[in-house]
Amino acid sequence: MKQNLSLWQFGGFALTSLGGTLLHFLYDWTNQSVLVAPFSAVNESTWEHMKLIYFPLFVFALIQGRFFKEYKNFWCIKLVGILTGLILIPVLFYTYNGAFGKTPDWINIAIFFLSTAIVFLLETQLFKKNSLPCRLPKLAFAIICLIGVLFVVLTFFTPKIPLFQNPLTGTYGID
């Protein structure tokens, strides 16, 4: 697998980019189906945009993990990658928005793709160095899964804080 690492990571970037883009529209395409709501964006809040990177990264990690058995630190690297993506999206969005007042749609799209690219570049470096200590890979996997559970639960029980507020309607969660 080590010789195919860059190909795998590029494929992951492409699949995550495509998957996140599709998940942005899936809720509306399915007439706001409650079945797809936990996994797709149900509004334009920053939180919902974080789901767009999480779920494709998670699905790709499940696939990739079946082929990357020689990396004992696989799930720790994936946890670092997922957390990086989940942190970058709000940090870049709120930094740009704070500096310029309003974020045009093309900047929001660029933030998603830039965050995704950084995740895969970081993971590639961590895989190549193979030096990230990982004593508890099952715990790393459990944390990744817990993040997914939070996305699902908070889709339906949305806190009334700005991260979850739809900037277009001022509402929270499913409109």
pLDDT 10s digits, 42-53: 999 999 999 999
**Domain contains 67:** yes
Predicted pLDDT of residue 2? 59
Flag whether pLDDT at 159 surpasses 70. yes
- Contacts of residue 99, defined as CB under 8 A and 6 or more positions apart, other chains included, come to none
pTM of the predicted structure, to 2 decimals: 0.93
Per-residue model confidence as pLDDT tens digits over 70-81: 888 999 999 999
The position carrying tokens 């007439």 is 31
For residue 81, the 8-state DSSP code is: H
| Pair of tokens at residue 133 | 């200590």
Flag whether pLDDT at 175 surpasses 80. no
Per-residue model confidence as pLDDT tens digits over 57-109: 999 999 999 999 888 899 999 999 999 999 999 999 999 888 888 778 888 89
**Domain contains 171:** no
Flag whether pLDDT at 1 surpasses 90. no
pLDDT band at 54 (very low <50, low <70, confident <90, very high): very high
**Domain contains 123:** yes
For residue 168, the 8-state DSSP code is: T
**Domain contains 172:** no
The pLDDT mean for the chain works out to 93
**Domain contains 35:** yes
**Domain contains 15:** yes
**Domain contains 71:** yes
Taking the C-alpha atoms of residue 131 and residue 73, their distance in angstroms, rounded to an integer, is 9
Taking the C-alpha atoms of residue 7 and residue 120, their distance in angstroms, rounded to an integer, is 11
Task: State the DSSP string of 41-76.
Answer: -SSSSHHHHHHHHHHHHHHHHHHHHTT-TT-TTHHH
Q: Which domain holds residue 119?
A: 2-164
Q: Are 75 and 144 in contact (CB under 8 A)?
A: yes
Q: How many CB atoms lie within 10 A of CB 44?
A: 15
Angstrom distances, CA of residue 84 to CA of 27, 30, 34, 122: 25, 30, 28, 9
| Pair of tokens at residue 78 | 């994936």
Q: How many domains is the chain built from?
A: 1
Predicted pLDDT of residue 102? 79
**Domain contains 14:** yes
